[in-house]
Every structure is written in structure tokens, then in C-alpha cells.
Structure 1
Amino acid sequence: MLDRLEMFIAVANERHFGRAAESLGITQPTLSHGIKQLEEQLGVQLVFRASRFGSLTPEGQSALVWARRIVGDVRQLKEEMRTARHGLAGRVRIAVVPTALTWASKLATAFSAAHPKVEFTILSRNSSDILSMLENLEIDAGISYIDNEPLGRVTTEPLYEEAYMLVCAEGSPFADRKTVRWEELDGTRLCLLTPDMQNRRIINENFAARKSTPVAAIESNSTVVLTASVMTGAWMTVLPRDLANFLAVGKPLRTIPLDGQVKRHRVGLIAPYREPHTPVLHALFDEARRVAIVER
């Protein structure tokens, strides 16, 4: 039944039989047959469908909760048995808010040094996507904001507190300043992350607290686009300190602390709440704690 539960989860995640089959590396007829067999085993209809996926039935919604729990438990069992035999090994899938990607690299590098048999897949996603991917078993952990918006039932380990910097070209009027106040950016030409990013919402809160309205003529979900735009000299941006300093290295850019931040939000490692965690996740949380202490 396990393979059929995984098929069902894939269909629920993708909401499309073709994409679900592709994600599992099987044919669509095989997937459809597996879902039909699962429905027969459970004695209920799980999916409304005609020629294509419609939606989950009420029974399907309930079954999805159980399917995720069962598949998650079986994966944990397999990992614990593998660890008992071979030590920590396998691949950890982590989704990270774009502004914390440098920290994902720090954590993965430190962990790999201690556990060389563990490999990483690191994806850039916004905070809401990370929570959905955790729920859908598409990732093992995330790095996101842990104190700004509801997270649900997760385990967290703080990594750092975000402080913001103005990033501008060397020729900017702000380039030689030691600090800049948020309200001084009112009406300036800014390029910022897109509104679906929690980082952007936090930046907007800081401007609103100073009764300022940023003019974001360029919006992007890529910090590379923001940095390239600033390098033209026509724009400035606001980024967290660590990322700003990383992106400015070797470039004709300046990073200046923004004075008067409303609140410092914490960013950390998150994973679905489970006692105990898998051996790899348990070790990853321990490593996150060590990395955070070292970086302070």
C-alpha cells in the first residue's frame, strides 16, 4: 500500500495526474491504476475526476493527513535502520528563503565536514512555499523566519537575527554615510524583493513605521537581479546584513546600516514537529545550534 499512498500524495501535491506521474518517474496509466486500487482498498473515493484531476473528496482530504503521516513514519524507520547499519548518510532536502541562502551554505558545509556521507539539495523558496513543502513531504527541513508569521506545528532552531543594510553604488549620495535612516529613502528609486517574500513585508513594515513609502520600480524574487540593478547606479536596494555584504564583495557597491529598525526578526532552521526526529535531522539541528554560536 505504501507505493499507492505515495502516488496519492503526489497527486494531491501536483493537482494534476500527468505532473504527479512525472514527479514519481512512472507512467500516467500506472498512477491512475494505483489511485484506483487505493480507493478500492479503502472503500472510498479519494479524488473527484472526469477526464482530469478535479479535487480531493472530503474522504480524500482526511486520507491525505493519514497518508502523509504513514509515509513520513516509514521514511523515518528506513532512515533509522540505515543509520544503525551505515551511520549518517543520504540526502537532505532544504528549502530556504532567498535572504538566508548564505546561511544554508554555512550549515551544509559544516554538516558535511562532520558527516561526509550526507548530501544536500538546497532550494530557494518563499516562506509560505517552505511550509507547504514541509507539509507535503517535498523537503526535510527549511530555513525561514521563525517569529514573524504563523508556522504551525514545527520544530525550530534560531540561526541569526536579521539587520538591514542599504546597498548602493559607489557614486550614490549615500555611499560615504556611516548610517542611513529609513525615512531618508522615502521617494528614492529602489529595487526590492517581490511582495510575496516575507522579507519584503518586513521591509515595508519598517518603512511604514517611519511613515515612508518606498518606490519599488523594480521587483524581483532574485537577489542577483537586485544586485545587478544596483550596480547600474540607477537603483538602490535593502537587504539583510550578511547577504548584502556577501553580494557586495568585489563589486563597486557600498553597504550602509539602516538605523532605527522596528524589530529584529529571527531566522532559523525548521522541520515538521516529530519526536524523535530522524537521526539526520537530529544531527542537523545540533549542527545549526553550533553554527549559530560560532557565527555570533
Structure 2
Amino acid sequence: MIGKLEMLIALAKERHFGRAAETLGITQPTLSTGIKQLEEHLGVKLVLRGSRFGGLTPEGERALELARGIVRETRRLQDEMRFSRKGLSGQIRLAVIPTALTWASGLATRFNAAHPNVGFLILSRTSAEVLEMIGNLEVDAGISYLDNEPLGRMAVQPLYREKYTLVCHKNHALAGRDSVHWRDLAGLNLCLLSPDMQNRRIINRNFHDAGLTPNAMIESNSTVVLVSNVVSGDWVTVLPTDLARFLSTGHPLRMVPLDGGVTAHSVGLLAPHQEPQTPVLAALYQAARGLAE
């Protein structure tokens, strides 16, 4: 039954039988048969079918909501039973906004040092995707903004407050400044994160408050691309200070603090609220508290 509920969750996410089957590592006929067996077991139609996936019926939407809770609790039970036999083991799947990847690395390293039988899968995703993946049970937890989007019923552990710095080549006209204001960036060759990123929307608000509209001729969802452009040309970018320090190391770059702007946003660890948490997630939150301190 749990396997068939996972099929329903995958189908609702992918909205395509072939893609859903691929994510589960099964064939499309196996998926179709599993969904039909689930419908027969429940006595209701869950999926609208035609020549292709047509969505979920009202009963399917309700079943999906309940299925997520059942699968989540089943995995929680499995984690607790595994803990009773082997101690902390397994893998933590973590979705992380790009600007917090250095913190994710620090958290994974700190956790693994204390619990060497637990591995990590760290995925770079937008803030919206982090919440979606947690809700769809694709990941166990995430690191994202805590005060910029509705989070729903989540267990939250703040890690840090995001502050911003200008990154420019060491020969740039602003490289020798002790600090710059957002309005000092007018007319510069900007390369910034793509507009689908929450960090970019925060940066845009800072520019707006300074009376500017950022004209970024190079945009990317990769911070590595941004820093590479700064290294190779007359470009500047804006990044959170911790990430800028990491990416600038070993390159002919300068970090110049940015003054003014909106209040720094809080970034932290997120996971579905459960009482009690699974042993692995409880230990992860303990590690996150230590890292924040």
C-alpha cells in the first residue's frame, strides 16, 4: 500500500505517467497498474485519464493530502526502527537555496563528524522549490529564507542573517572603497542571479529603495557564473557576505560592504513539523543550533 501511495504522490508531482514512473525507477505500465489497484482498494476514482494524465479528481486530491502524511509517518517509523538497531544511519536529503550552499556544507560536515554513518544529498534549488520538495517528500529538510515567504507548518531553526557585499575585480574603481551604497552601483556592468531566485528579488528591492532599476546584462542561477564574470571582465556582482568570501578566495577580487538597504533576511533550516522529530532530524537540528551559535 505504501508503494502505491508513493506512486500517487509522484504522479501528482510530475503530472505525467512516464516521468512519474521514471522518478520511481519503474515502468509506466507498473505505475498505471499500481494507481488502478489503489483506486480499486479505496473504491473511488483518483486520476482523470484520457490520452494523457488529466489531473486528480476531488477524491484524488484528498487522497494525495492523506498519502503524504501516511508516507511521511511511515518513513519516520522506519527511521526510528533503524535507529533502534543501528544508531543514526542513512541519508539526509537537503534542498538549499544557492546563496546558502556554504552553510549547507558546514552543516553536513559538522553532522557527519558526529554521526559518520549518515550521508547527505545536497541539492541547489530556489526557495519556492525548497518548500515544494519538502511538501512532496522529495527531500527531508531544506535551508531557505525564513521571513520572506509563507512557510506553512514547519519546524524552523535560524542559522544566520543575510548581509550583502559588492564583489569586483581588484583593479575596479570601487575596489579601494571601505564601503559603497546601493546607489553607487548605478551604471555599472551588473551580473546578478536570475529573477526566479529569492535572493535576486531581495536585491531588486534594495535597488528600488535606492531609486535604481538594476540593469543586469548577465543573469544566472549559478553564483559560480557570476564570480567568473567578475574575474574575467569589468563586471560586478552582489552576493551574501559569507558566500562572497568563499567564492572570492584565490581570485583577484575585492569585497566591498554595501551600506543601507532593507533589513537583512533570516536564513535557516526547515523541515515538516513533527512531535517528536525522527532521531536523524532531531540530531540535524541540534547540529544546526550549534552551527548558528
TM superposition score normalised by structure 1: 0.98
Is 1:133 the equivalent of 2:129?
no
> Match of 2:188?
188
Give yes or no for contact 2:155–2:271 (8 Å, CA) kept in 1: yes
- What is the CA–CA distance in structure 2 between the aligned matches of 1:60 and 1:109, rounded to whole Å? 41
Secondary structure of 1:192's counterpart equals strand
Amino acid paired to 1:98: P
Secondary structure of 2:212's counterpart equals coil
Deviation at 1:233, TM superposition (A): 2.3
> Match of 1:148?
148
Secondary structure of 2:122's counterpart equals strand
Deviation at 1:235, TM superposition (A): 1.1
Give yes or no for contact 1:172–1:233 (8 Å, CA) kept in 2: no
> Match of 2:87?
87
Give yes or no for contact 1:163–1:261 (8 Å, CA) kept in 2: no
Pairing of 1:91-170 with structure 2 (within 5 A): 91-170=91-170
- What is the CA–CA distance in structure 1 between the aligned matches of 2:261 and 2:157, rounded to whole Å? 23
Deviation at 1:89, TM superposition (A): 0.4
Give yes or no for contact 1:171–1:233 (8 Å, CA) kept in 2: no
Amino acid paired to 1:174: L
> Match of 1:76?
76
> Match of 2:252?
252
Q: List per-residue Cα deviations over 1:61-113 (Å, max 9, x = no partner).
A: 11100000001101100110110111000000000000000000000000000
Q: List per-residue Cα deviations over 1:15-68 (Å, max 9, x = no partner).
A: 111111111111111110000000111111111111221111111111100000
Aligned length, in residue pairs: 293
Secondary structure of 1:142's counterpart equals strand
Deviation at 1:187, TM superposition (A): 2.3
- What is the CA–CA distance in structure 1 between the aligned matches of 2:215 and 2:176, rounded to whole Å? 22
Amino acid paired to 2:14: E
Runs of at least 5 residues in structure 2 that lack an aligned partner in the other structure? none
> Match of 1:41?
41
Deviation at 1:277, TM superposition (A): 1.1
Give yes or no for contact 1:147–1:265 (8 Å, CA) kept in 2: yes
> Match of 2:238?
238
- What is the CA–CA distance in structure 2 between the aligned matches of 1:54 and 1:167, rounded to whole Å? 48
Give yes or no for contact 1:143–1:269 (8 Å, CA) kept in 2: yes
Deviation at 1:276, TM superposition (A): 1.2
> Match of 2:2?
2
- What is the CA–CA distance in structure 2 between the aligned matches of 1:184 and 1:234, rounded to whole Å? 16
> Match of 2:23?
23
Amino acid paired to 1:144: S
Give yes or no for contact 2:209–2:261 (8 Å, CA) kept in 1: no
TM superposition score normalised by structure 2: 0.99
Give yes or no for contact 2:167–2:253 (8 Å, CA) kept in 1: yes
- What is the CA–CA distance in structure 1 between the aligned matches of 2:9 and 2:210, rounded to whole Å? 46
- What is the CA–CA distance in structure 1 between the aligned matches of 2:229 and 2:49, rounded to whole Å? 46
Once the two structures are aligned, what percentage of the paired residues are identical?
63
> Which consecutive segments of 4 or more residues in structure 1 shift more than 2 A?
none
> Match of 2:54?
54
